[in-house]
Structure 1
Amino acid sequence: MTDAAQAHRSAPALARTPEELACLRRSLEGRVALVPTMGALHGGHRALMAAAREQADTIVASVFVNPLQFGPGEDYESYPRDLDTDMRVCAEEGAALVFAPSVEDVYPGEQIVRIDPGDMGRVLEGEFRPGFFGGVLTVVNKLFNLVQPDVAVFGQKDAQQLALVRRMVRDLNMAVDIAAAPTMRDSDNLASSSRNAYLSPAERRSALSLSRALLAGADASVTGPVGILSAARAVLDEAAAGEPPVTVDYLALVDANTFAEVPNDFRGEAVLLVAARVGRTRLIDNVPLSL
């Protein structure tokens, strides 16, 4: 990264339409990194932009709450939106350009053609949120086409999404590198998320069982898949009986490349994942493991 890019801390340019984006994109110099976000930026997003600074000369952040990835009854309407604060965060993290389009600009008509995530996108999050990954990959594809980045940075916290984006880029011969940033955690070890703001103090205490379960599973990694899942499940079973209770959607140990659940004799790179609800808030977390 150039010294000029590292020193850049002025207010980023703001593009609200694809036409404004195209005009401003032509002025960006060097290697360009895209950090796709849905806004409500927190420490995890700062970590993504820090990783982007290591990958490129110029950072473009997108701020767009994508309706295609929200199912019926999910929190699309109430999802936190604060562009002024997001712009300040982007300035502090050295972004040169923020793309914050309207829904009408991203989807000017009915979106008939969508990216199919295949079987890999229909398990785990894909099973509990039908259509979610199709919506994610479709908007990521659009952002790649609009921004034309050299590299895009995604968080390891959304491990299945990261794996699917990498697969889409490979399968569709997209000319963009995909970089991953480690999961950012709050001081109490809860994975940073915009949805953490929905948790009451009591719910947050219960939610800490997710990271404790993953840590217990990681500590048991020498015992193999059965021991890993047993250790993690014991923590979650206790949390399910707590107050407020934690309701688990899934706990799974999967192959890091295919997201298929691993056999008992598995050796290689894996991911231990959990998704659960505390009150009305749904949270996900994971930890990479090498078996």
Structure 2
Amino acid sequence: MLLVLDIGNTNIVAAIYNGDDRTDTWRLTTDRRKTVDEYRILMVEAMEAREISPNSISHVAISSVVPPVNPILVNMFRKYWGIHPLLVQPGIKTGLNIKIDDPRGLGPDRIVNAVGAYHIYGGPVIIVDLGTATTVCAVNGKGDFLGGVICPGIGISVEALVAQAAKLPRVEIAQPHQAIGKNTVEGMQSGIYYGYVGMVDGLVCRFKEELGDTDPPVQVVATGGFGELIGRGCAHVDHIHPALTLEGLRILYERNRPNALKAKQPQVPAIGAGLE
């Protein structure tokens, strides 16, 4: 089975694929301070809680926007599973033409989302990822990744607002029943929700103008932790796909499979073995 890991600034999202079917998903907190052995314990415990045999994992694909965590997890899979993971980085086969000034500087999460969106929906497609950061990217009908925008994410914006405005409380990030808030909490929720809905719709409209009239028309897909919340309020979002990054990782693994085979039969020590 294939294990894919999407390492974000806040969480590591893991999923198991049996062929094209995603069977299980879980989250771990991203922690740069954890060791190889600590991550191994958490990973095995998560698998066993879902009745997944750790020894059934034969392939691993990783997308990460937190470089310090990469060698820890790569070394973990090499040491305990005997697997050399596929790491999304410059030089892998994507199936897209990267048409930006510095392709090597493109974030792995953006390219993985673009690969997944273009594979599932075709092109042209606009991908809105509402996570720790908010990104909007465009792929044309020929499979050219054209670039996009990077904005502060909802969580970052809320934390900055609360930190810099002493009298403003932390509020639940939720869809309010109307835009005109009747109190501080409602006003903040409205500003957060409708502010990001308006930003996404505005950026998508500008992207569509720059892409021009296309046949077929541009598809817009939203993903990320806040993708469903914000996407369902947007007039110009056509699809909401919470697992787009995971699907993109699976597709990338298949395209690079000859270079991502396991090194030997995996052997996973029991929890606590060798840790006295």
Coarse TM-score class (shorter-chain normalised): under 0.3
- For the pair shown, the structure with the greater C-alpha radius of gyration is 2
More helix, by proportion: 1
TM-score, length basis structure 2: 0.28
Q: Which has the higher contact order (CA 8 A, sep 6+)?
A: 2
